[in-house]
Amino acid sequence: MSIARFEPGPRMSQAISAGGFLFVAGQVAEGADATAQTAAILEKIDALLAAAGMDRRNLVSANIWLADIADFNAMNAVWDGWVAKEAAPARACVQSGLAAPQYRVEIAVTAFSPEGAQ
């Protein structure tokens, strides 16, 4: 089994594939509000999935952190338009302190492909 790292950095990789799984690190984005940040984060996730030869239909799990749970509906409005309805992942969403005050949303996902990630 090989391990591939996507966008590796000195502290972490943005994604790692191993054994058919793709583990995407928590993604954040700049934006005026939770709606804009969620849209930008999901674009980043799409790009990381594509780099591994996958797409959102391969998602098996998602963890979402909101700086304020009052943003739940705004985040879901974007999420619901993005997620593959026939292949929605298991998901958790909680309120939590995030790395910096400008971040309203952070999302980490895990995807799986029986053919393996590239």
Tokens linked to 73 = 């509906």
Nearest to 54 by CA among 19, 20, 7: 20
pTM: 0.95
- What pLDDT, in 10s, does the model give residues 44-86? 999 999 999 999 999 999 999 999 999 999 999 999 999 999 9
pLDDT at residue 89 is higher than 70: yes
* CATH node for 16-112: 3.30.1330.40
pLDDT at residue 96 is higher than 80: yes
Query: Alpha carbon of 51 to those of 48, 82, 84, 106: distances in Å?
Result: 5, 18, 18, 20
